Amino acid sequence: MIPIRDTVSSKNFPVINNVIIGVNVTLYLVELMQGGGLGEFIYIYGLVPARYSVPQLRSYFSIGEQVIPFISFMFLHGGLWHLLGNMWSLYIFGDNVEDHLGHVRYLSFYLLCGLTSGSSHLMFNLHSNIPTIGASGAIAGVMGAYFILHPRAKILTLIPLFFIPYFIEMPAFLFLGFWFVLQFVNVAGSHGTVSGIAWWAHIGGFVFGIIFLKMFHILPATGFTDKVQHLTERKKTHRLQVIRPIGPGKDPHLYGIITVTPHEASAGTLKLVNIPWGFHNRLFRVTVPPGTLEGSKLRLKGQGKQMESHRRGDLYLKVFIKS
């Protein structure tokens, strides 16, 4: 299952989330520049449990060299697909959590999730000499927070069936709950064997993400986010929207709602609309012309109900302007 996007739009531009993605990409390029010294680079800046539990190894590193990996490991990756998978998940779930917590709190939240996920891995793999790297533990914390904040949100998921792309909407609690259970299955499957994947970091990150979210709800806000909110407010809705049209009675036409911002309504925009039809999913390009008003209707000819004359009605999308 590959998550494509969620149906919860964030009100503000995810500044910190995008910065974190940028830092991960930049450090991956730094890794590529290491050449033959990459193994040593990963061992120094990755999280190696044996460096903390084996005295013979511990003596080779200074206190600073032992502390830095708890931060640096969460910004390094073992390959391009490892990086892309993690950053895509962060892109999907991180913006909504940042929107809820605010920029400064979200940065603190992310780093704390990364620290505790690394600690979880270290505790359950105390004598492992294999470096652990990757943002997945911190991202698991973001997913845990999303699980609490938006359990009823829909995750548009791509399921490749015999090379045919099949889209399905899954409730967030089901998608993330299945992912969380799968981590325990993987732990059980790798019991007694050496694994290059930090399953306990995923589990610890997810659990502590929920705990830290509750803690941040208790702590008083600084008010900083409110001061910069007008600067980071989104001017566009998601390019891909999922619409569930209705067709009352014998009316051959179908009716749905498409959401745009005041800026998009004024300047015009192009959207991709996904309309589930039973076991099929259709994607349409919808043009919202400049100067569109609230309540205007966009017509998709021939995309309505099948009539007895074998002709189809039309699909009308009512424009909702979301401020």
Among 52-61, 131-140, 200-209, the minimum mean pLDDT is found in 52-61
In whole angstroms, give the CA distance from residue 111 to residue 137: 10
What digits encode the pLDDT tens for the residues 207-241? 999 999 999 998 876 666 667 666 777 777 777 78
In whole angstroms, give the CA distance from residue 43 to residue 51: 10
Mean pLDDT score of the chain: 87
> What average pLDDT score do residues 24-52 get?
93
Place of tokens 């043009």: 287
Q: Specify the DSSP element, H or E, that contains 131.
A: none
Other CB atoms within a 10 A radius of the CB of residue 238 amount to 16
Other CB atoms within a 10 A radius of the CB of residue 23 amount to 12
pLDDT for 192 equals 47
In whole angstroms, give the CA distance from residue 75 to residue 83: 9
For residue 276, give every residue at least 6 positions away whose Cβ sits within 8 Å of its Cβ, in sequence order, or none.
Answer: 167, 168, 169, 242, 244
Label residue 196 by pLDDT band (50, 70, 90): low
Label residue 189 by pLDDT band (50, 70, 90): low
Does 280 have pLDDT greater than 70?
no
What digits encode the pLDDT tens for the residues 150-171? 999 989 888 777 777 777 888 9
Tell me if domain 2-232 and domain 240-321 are identical in fold: no
Full-prediction pTM beyond 0.85?
no
CATH architecture of 240-321: Sandwich (2.60)
**For 2-232, CATH number?**
1.20.1540.10
Contact indicator for 288, 318 with CB cutoff of 8 Å: no
Among 84-98, 187-201, 241-255, 273-287, the minimum mean pLDDT is found in 187-201
What digits encode the pLDDT tens for the residues 296-313? 999 988 888 877 777 888
The full DSSP string for 199-237 is HHHHHHHHHHHHHHHHHHHHSPP-SHHHHHHHHHB-SS-
For residue 48, give every residue at least 6 positions away whose Cβ sits within 8 Å of its Cβ, in sequence order, or none.
Answer: 57, 69, 128, 129, 130, 131, 132
In whole angstroms, give the CA distance from residue 233 to residue 99: 10
Does 284 have pLDDT greater than 80?
yes
Nearest-10 Cα torsion for 88, 153, 106, 28: -10
For residue 70, give every residue at least 6 positions away whose Cβ sits within 8 Å of its Cβ, in sequence order, or none.
Answer: 47, 115, 118, 119
pLDDT for 214 equals 94
Per-domain boundaries in the chain: 2-232, 240-321
In whole angstroms, give the CA distance from residue 184 to residue 187: 5
| Assigned token pair, 272 | 């991709």
E-state strands within the chain: 2-6, 154-161, 164-171, 240-242, 254-260, 269-277, 280-288, 297-300, 315-321
The full DSSP string for 154-177 is EEEEEEEETTEEEEEEEEHHHHHH
In whole angstroms, give the CA distance from residue 219 to residue 198: 31
Label residue 141 by pLDDT band (50, 70, 90): very high
pLDDT for 37 equals 92
In whole angstroms, give the CA distance from residue 197 to residue 313: 52
pLDDT for 12 equals 86
Among 13-17, 70-74, 243-247, 265-269, the minimum mean pLDDT is found in 243-247
Other CB atoms within a 10 A radius of the CB of residue 58 amount to 12
In whole angstroms, give the CA distance from residue 168 to residue 279: 8
Strand partners, 79: none
| Assigned token pair, 166 | 């099949």
Contact indicator for 73, 130 with CB cutoff of 8 Å: no
pLDDT for 248 equals 83
